A and B are shown apart, each in its own frame.
Chain A
């Protein structure tokens, strides 16, 4: 663990001291490794009434060789709880959630999971159902803050008739891939997911482009996409070409030295992907810069360079990449927003503008009839405090606060962001579009 605070409180002496003083002690998070089970232990699955999603989850877990239980016996410890509240219509229905989940929390295994499944409030019939459906978000987020030892709580809202499409979301949230995804709401809608032949290679045969792939989060995205079976076209500015070459060679992909703000950047990427790899299935717009200054001191160069790299270039590249003849039907587009685009950040008006703009863009693209008809999903991740070269330069006190001000009491790793992007890129996850999932350990900022 990179954090000095985390290192201290997990040392033998520090642990004792931290416990006595009531200081938070960051857990070592369970992260995905190829070949490991979805969860380590049995899963409590239940819900209200017929609980249609719970039924699917039992089948899914059975196919993975994971035991499920309907209720807890005394002293039982489970790795996760899945609570299907899709039928909840009255506030009094919510007690079913309490009754199912509460007994499991004390014995929840390290890096445990609580997944609440509900319905979209905006599609409710009547006031009571709308209020009840929305209440699930408050419960889930509060559970997230109550959990310890690396456990997380997330809410999955399933559209009517889209129950089958929730499998990929449940699978992701249970797994170590979602280690730093906490307190989030995932919306699953219509779409035609296709399961991979091998869940160890959910992106097999796919071609992905990752911008900003030379270092940090971008390099990690390339790693994870390649691990999941994709062929990765790695893009970064020519000046970062040496790091880019290392990434491309590590993942067995290709390197394209290119400034994403170039007028023909989209064309160059598409031509490269088509000529070298036969097409394009996954676009990850990760390239981004910061040029921080208080707005009072912000000059035009800082302002416009951030907006052009982080937002303008994406709009221009998309004109080619998302047009007919660009990304293949059924493809996936993933953008990278930021917690700063949700909560705002002092000194980051330009960055915050660009990253909030990314969310607006995801909303609009996901709603685009043309893209919907082609089965193309568009989603974004919004990283919180992630341990990178960039955050390593943040002053010590600010950095420690950033690390600790979240439910998991630690910063995330680039791989955590990458895992969420890889999940958005799965054909099995075709029901998820227009989502902005924060990878922030349930940060207090912008919550």
Chain B
């Protein structure tokens, strides 16, 4: 999105303010490291578990909610109706409609925005937004060559054609297609892309390790004070995020070898990058009236949202920089400054993602040349950033991260008191970014 698109900033609102969707509560299962606790759980198992915990917490068994929108990034072909199937396997009324959403790592937050917008427009009174991902139970497909041969065989009408099709078979076609964490248009992994951006911005190894260590410390502290008691339901014996290392230190993190980038300047390690993770989350949204009728608390309202995308293929912009571009639209529409937010959640795809995003907003040059702003957005008080930890500690089952953050931030804002505002920023593959603003009810 080019900065000039800002001319349409205020055009999206029709006459009168629509109502705001309420964030009522959330639930997630603890996140597990790849091929560990949830190695044999499917996306549907995990999404169903997340929904079931949400239903139990809010007394929704047998109820028909307006809709359930959720998705997964790594998805089997059989899961074409993943969310609806999960609803059918849950205690919700079978008359609850559902659909799948997929916007890479933005899936969970985008789903919440979709449901929230329908509530705001009065099309539904309640809804559940969620996401799930498994890096363990990955969809392995047949080799592309084999697939083509089989399809040709299927189309063959005569014995001769069939024989001819079969002659296309090669031993090499037995190698299956395994999903890879790479951008199709560059062939580079997300980590390699991030390493390039981090290098451009001169992000230090120490700064990244500090982000990682505080993520672990903050998440551990949140567990210790029972913050997740009403945000999480155990699954398959896991009661805490498996990736969490409460005793992580900058010193220990400094000993790890870089895994992305090359040579002297390589700064990104397994410690300051999120690991592949399995898990699911779900958020309950509704109108204030719907919540009130059921005696359910309203933690926060969904105030606004913005997505953006960058041209990382030919446009000389970092793959994960899109949130930096989304923010000015939100600020302008809401008449806010970055510094007005009481809490900010920037998804830690990599520690460097957080740091480059913050650096970009502080950069006069970037804000002027790339965002078309007269002045830089400015620095963010770090005490307001990811105060209960983020993906580096919790892990990042792609589509589940949005739901994790929306529910946690809503609760944090509620604890701060009415009117407190929070910002969510999630970068996604394909050079995209999703942002949202919540305000404590």
Chain A residues contacting B233 (CB-CB under 8 Å) are 241-242, 244-245, 257
Chain A residues contacting B56 (CB-CB under 8 Å) are 234, 244-246, 248-249, 254-255
Given contacts A245-B55, A245-B233, contact A239 B239 (CB under 8 A): yes
Q: In the complex the two chains form, is B229's CB within 8 Å of A275's CB?
A: no
The answer to whether B234 has its CB under 8 Å from any CB of chain A is yes
Question: Once the chains are docked, how many angstroms separate the CA of A241 from the CA of B296?
Answer: 19
Q: In the complex the two chains form, is B49's CB within 8 Å of A249's CB?
A: no
Q: In the complex the two chains form, is A276's CB within 8 Å of B61's CB?
A: no
The answer to whether A253 has its CB under 8 Å from any CB of chain B is yes
Q: In the complex the two chains form, is B59's CB within 8 Å of A276's CB?
A: yes
Q: In the complex the two chains form, is A242's CB within 8 Å of B229's CB?
A: no
Question: Once the chains are docked, how many angstroms separate the CA of A254 from the CA of B239?
Answer: 20
Tell which of B49, B61, B295 touches A275, judged by Cβ atoms closer than 8 Å. Answer: B295
Chain B residues contacting A246 (CB-CB under 8 Å) are 52, 56
Identify the interface centre among A246, A248, A258, A276: most chain B CB within 10 Å of its CB.
A248
The answer to whether A278 has its CB under 8 Å from any CB of chain B is yes
Q: In the complex the two chains form, is B52's CB within 8 Å of A238's CB?
A: no
Tell which of B49, B62, B296 touches A276, judged by Cβ atoms closer than 8 Å. Answer: B296
The answer to whether A139 has its CB under 8 Å from any CB of chain B is no
- Distance in angstroms from A411 CB to nearest chain B CB is 28
- The total of interchain contacts (Cβ-Cβ below 8 angstroms) comes to 71
Tell which of B52, B229, B295, B296 touches A245, judged by Cβ atoms closer than 8 Å. Answer: B52
Chain A residues contacting B55 (CB-CB under 8 Å) are 245, 249
The answer to whether A328 has its CB under 8 Å from any CB of chain B is no
- Distance in angstroms from B220 CB to nearest chain A CB is 15
Question: Once the chains are docked, how many angstroms separate the CA of A192 from the CA of B371?
Answer: 75
Question: Once the chains are docked, how many angstroms separate the CA of A338 from the CA of B308?
Answer: 63
Tell which of A234, A241, A262 touches B234, judged by Cβ atoms closer than 8 Å. Answer: A241
Q: In the complex the two chains form, is A242's CB within 8 Å of B235's CB?
A: yes
Chain A residues contacting B62 (CB-CB under 8 Å) are 252
Given contacts A245-B52, A277-B295, contact A238 B59 (CB under 8 A): no
A226-273 residues at the B interface, CB under 8 angstroms: 234, 238-242, 244-246, 248-258, 262
Question: Once the chains are docked, how many angstroms separate the CA of A255 from the CA of B239?
Answer: 16
Contact string against A for B residues 212-248, beta-carbon threshold 8 Å, 1 for contact and 0 otherwise: 0000000000000010111011110001000000000
The answer to whether B53 has its CB under 8 Å from any CB of chain A is yes
Question: Once the chains are docked, how many angstroms separate the CA of A185 from the CA of B411?
Answer: 51
Chain B residues contacting A238 (CB-CB under 8 Å) are 226, 228-229, 232, 234, 239
Chain A residues contacting B294 (CB-CB under 8 Å) are 276
The answer to whether B58 has its CB under 8 Å from any CB of chain A is yes
Question: Once the chains are docked, how many angstroms separate the CA of A241 from the CA of B294?
Answer: 22
Q: In the complex the two chains form, is A242's CB within 8 Å of B57's CB?
A: no
- Distance in angstroms from B59 CB to nearest chain A CB is 4
- Distance in angstroms from A213 CB to nearest chain B CB is 11
Interface size class of B (residues with CB under 8 A): 20 to 34
- Distance in angstroms from B284 CB to nearest chain A CB is 13
Identify the interface centre among B56, B59, B296: most chain A CB within 10 Å of its CB.
B56
Chain B residues contacting A248 (CB-CB under 8 Å) are 56-57, 59, 61
Tell which of B52, B57, B61 touches A252, judged by Cβ atoms closer than 8 Å. Answer: B61
Q: In the complex the two chains form, is B53's CB within 8 Å of A245's CB?
A: yes
Chain B residues contacting A252 (CB-CB under 8 Å) are 59, 61-62
Question: Once the chains are docked, how many angstroms separate the CA of A254 from the CA of B59?
Answer: 4
Chain A residues contacting B297 (CB-CB under 8 Å) are 275
Chain B residues contacting A251 (CB-CB under 8 Å) are 61
Chain A residues contacting B143 (CB-CB under 8 Å) are none
Q: In the complex the two chains form, is B295's CB within 8 Å of A241's CB?
A: no
Chain A residues contacting B61 (CB-CB under 8 Å) are 248-253
Q: In the complex the two chains form, is A254's CB within 8 Å of B91's CB?
A: no
- Distance in angstroms from B129 CB to nearest chain A CB is 19
A282-333 residues at the B interface, CB under 8 angstroms: none
Q: In the complex the two chains form, is A242's CB within 8 Å of B53's CB?
A: yes
Q: In the complex the two chains form, is A254's CB within 8 Å of B52's CB?
A: no
Q: In the complex the two chains form, is A253's CB within 8 Å of B59's CB?
A: yes
Chain B residues contacting A244 (CB-CB under 8 Å) are 56, 233
Contact string against A for B residues 135-148, beta-carbon threshold 8 Å, 1 for contact and 0 otherwise: 00000000000000
Question: Once the chains are docked, how many angstroms separate the CA of A41 from the CA of B58?
Answer: 45
Given contacts A254-B56, A276-B295, contact A249 B91 (CB under 8 A): yes
Question: Once the chains are docked, how many angstroms separate the CA of A250 from the CA of B234?
Answer: 17
Please, which residue of chain B has its CB at the minimum distance from the CB of A244? B56
Question: Once the chains are docked, how many angstroms separate the CA of A255 from the CA of B61?
Answer: 11
Q: In the complex the two chains form, is B52's CB within 8 Å of A239's CB?
A: no
Chain B residues contacting A276 (CB-CB under 8 Å) are 59, 294-296
Please, which residue of chain A has its CB at the minimum distance from the CB of B92? A249
Question: Once the chains are docked, how many angstroms separate the CA of A411 from the CA of B333?
Answer: 68
Question: Once the chains are docked, how many angstroms separate the CA of A257 from the CA of B62?
Answer: 21
Identify the interface centre among B59, B62, B295: most chain A CB within 10 Å of its CB.
B59
B43-75 residues at the A interface, CB under 8 angstroms: 49, 52-53, 55-59, 61-62
Contact string against A for B residues 62-105, beta-carbon threshold 8 Å, 1 for contact and 0 otherwise: 10000000000000000000000000000100000000000000
Chain A residues contacting B229 (CB-CB under 8 Å) are 238, 257-258
- Distance in angstroms from B408 CB to nearest chain A CB is 15
- Distance in angstroms from A410 CB to nearest chain B CB is 33
Q: In the complex the two chains form, is B57's CB within 8 Å of A255's CB?
A: yes
Please, which residue of chain A has its CB at the minimum distance from the CB of B240? A239
Question: Once the chains are docked, how many angstroms separate the CA of A135 from the CA of B233?
Answer: 54
Given contacts A249-B52, A278-B295, contact A240 B59 (CB under 8 A): no
B254-283 residues at the A interface, CB under 8 angstroms: none
Chain B residues contacting A277 (CB-CB under 8 Å) are 295
Task: Kindly list the 6 A-B residue pairs having the minimum CB-CB distance in the complex, ordered from nearest.
Answer: A245-B56, A255-B56, A249-B91, A254-B59, A248-B56, A241-B233
24 of the cross-chain contacts (CB-CB < 8 Å) are A238-B226, A238-B228, A238-B234, A239-B234, A241-B233, A241-B234, A242-B235, A245-B57, A245-B233, A248-B56, A249-B52, A250-B61, A250-B91, A252-B61, A252-B62, A253-B61, A254-B58, A255-B57, A256-B57, A257-B230, A257-B233, A275-B297, A276-B295, A277-B295
Using A241-B239, A242-B234, A252-B61 as known contacts, list a sample of 15 further A-B pairs with CB atoms less than 8 Å apart, ordered by residue number in A: A238-B234, A244-B56, A245-B52, A248-B56, A248-B61, A249-B56, A249-B91, A250-B61, A254-B56, A254-B59, A255-B57, A258-B229, A262-B226, A276-B59, A277-B295
